[in-house]
Amino acid sequence: MREPTAAAELTDRLWQAVVDGDEHGAADIVHAAVADGVAEETLLLDVIAPVQARVGSEWAADRITVAQEHAATAINERVIASLAHRRPARERRLPHRGRVTVSCIDGEWHAFPARLVAEVLHLRGWRVDYLGAQTPTPHLVAHLHHTGPDAVLLSGSIPTHLPAAHAAVTACQALGVRVLVGGLAFGADGRYARALGADRWAADARGAAEVLASGLPRSRPAAIRQVADDLPHLADQEYTMVVRSRSELVRQTLTGLETRFPAVRGYDDVQRERTAEDLTHIVDFLATALYVDDPELFTSFLTWTAGILEARHVTARSVLAALDVLVGQLREFPRAVGLIEAGGAALRGRPTVLSPTSAPAHD
């Protein structure tokens, strides 16, 4: 048997195949690595996962298109499937640890991290029900009723889905099923997992496997907690009012930009549509920051958005102008105004460099 190829070299080779759209070449690279003795978990987490992360960062830097990013992701997903399907029957492990459900939260279409978790848990001896992207909470709950898993693992990449994640966490716990969450949506340190009352948080697939191995005992079914039980600051209704007025806030901000940022007047229909999408993201992240009462969530999104715009040769001053218009509409909401002002200060103080984070812009 040849010496196993270093993960870094495999990552470089896989990246080139993926970015070239060479699905068969990508599959050949990982299959040859398995034959050379590279562990499947190493390939999943130390080769394929870094390639997928690079796909996101290259898109953010405007060095690959949205179509290339989608194609690369699809290739990586099929490569993962090919690894699982090519495993010889004699080497397939029968589940011996228990049964778990792995799913994305309602509204979350970025299923790649959840797929990695599902595959790693399977390799470590768990029976895994992988539900994929965008699982509505009622259907998730029905599945748990039917299967009775030892735990449910919920994945989220976009912070604006945290309110939906909160509903899923409390609904699963009401059945007596422990909930382990992970993904960029929950914060790099898991702060939002704790705020929403999840039983545990894991930073990555290996961490999730370790948490499960340490034991997550089932609890007795309990009454569903109310949102305010975990997040008492929501009593001020600012989050609710921003969500309800979302469309009007976007419309009025777009109109206000024509005065504060005259270049908008010359936008064609496509440019106006893209600007409205950006404004919608800003309002959604503002609402989510109100939900979890964390200025950093909103600020980090704004600085990332500014970097995305600058990579596409759009001045970040347009974001500041939009924030000024939003403040004028939300003066009766002190928490919202405080979040916007903190975000504006961060934008004014940032260096003009790309700062990738968790959320997509036009994707």
* pLDDT per 10-residue tile (average), the chain, 363 residues: 71 96 97 94 97 96 95 97 81 78 97 97 94 97 96 98 98 95 96 96 97 84 85 97 97 92 87 93 98 97 93 87 95 97 93 43 43
Query: What pLDDT does residue 340 have?
Result: 98
How far is residue 42 from each of residues 7, 38, 202, 205, 302, measured CA to CA in Å? 8, 7, 18, 11, 35
**Spatial separation of the C-alpha atoms in residues 183 and 162, rounded to whole Å:** 11
Whose structure tokens read 């004699």? 90
Could you tell me where the DSSP H helices lie in the chain? 7-19, 23-35, 40-43, 49-60, 66-86, 112-123, 137-147, 162-174, 191-195, 205-214, 227-230, 238-244, 246-260, 269-292, 295-311, 317-329, 334-349
Please say whether the beta carbons of 78 and 60 come within 8 A: no
Amino acid at 341: E
Q: What is the DSSP letter of 151?
A: E
Beta bridge partners of 132: 103
| Cα 141 to the center of its chain, rounded Å | 21
Query: What pLDDT does residue 99 have?
Result: 96
Please say whether the beta carbons of 141 and 167 come within 8 A: no
**Spatial separation of the C-alpha atoms in residues 105 and 135, rounded to whole Å:** 6
Query: What pLDDT does residue 222 have?
Result: 74
Please say whether the beta carbons of 134 and 144 come within 8 A: no
Sign of CA dihedral 204, 209, 211, 212: positive
Query: What pLDDT does residue 318 have?
Result: 87
Please say whether the beta carbons of 149 and 129 come within 8 A: yes
